[in-house]
Amino acid sequence: MLLQTVRPNIVQSIRAYRVDDLMQAAHHADQHFLYANLTAAQSKQDVLEAIAESFTFPAHFGKNLDALFDCMTDLVHKAGAQPGFVVVLEQLPDNPRFDREAREQLLDVFRDAADFWAERKIPFRCFYSFQ
């Protein structure tokens, strides 16, 4: 029910949503739930490594934004039909080593992934929060 109130292809602040509720909503909709707690991350490299580990990316993940996009789109698309995605990026860093520009670049990758999946009529909802 919760996911019906959220556009199917969007990247937005988590705001009033709780992670547990999003996880349950993804489960009830038979969609993938991808969660990364980034509390310990301080830099772009830390963020990419934490996402790669949390989302169980392959060992050859290049730890850059292009590789992140590839893993969120092409790699998964080639794995077969997908039911949809609920992605949570919790506690994105807010410091000089991961500033507003770095956060926007990261979120742009997820916006591009949302567009990729929208073209294929597959829901991709990404929620994020800041430290």
How is the chain split into domains, by residue range? 2-130
Which uninterrupted H or E stretch holds 39? none
Neighbours of 87 (CB within 10 A): 23
Residues 88-103: b if buried by 16+ CB within 10 A, e if exposed: bbbbbbeeeebeeebb
Does the pTM of the predicted model rise above 0.85?
A: yes
Instruction: Dump pLDDT digits (tens) for 70-124.
Output: 999 987 877 888 999 999 999 999 999 999 999 999 999 999 999 999 999 999 9
Instruction: Dump pLDDT digits (tens) for 22-61.
Output: 999 999 999 999 999 999 999 999 999 999 999 999 988 9
User: Which tokens go with 107?
Assistant: 């979120």
Measured distance CA(35)–CA(73) in Å, rounded:
16
Range 2-130 classified under CATH 3.30.370.10: yes
Q: Lay out the sheet containing 9-13: strands in order across.
A: 9-13, 124-130, 85-92, 32-37
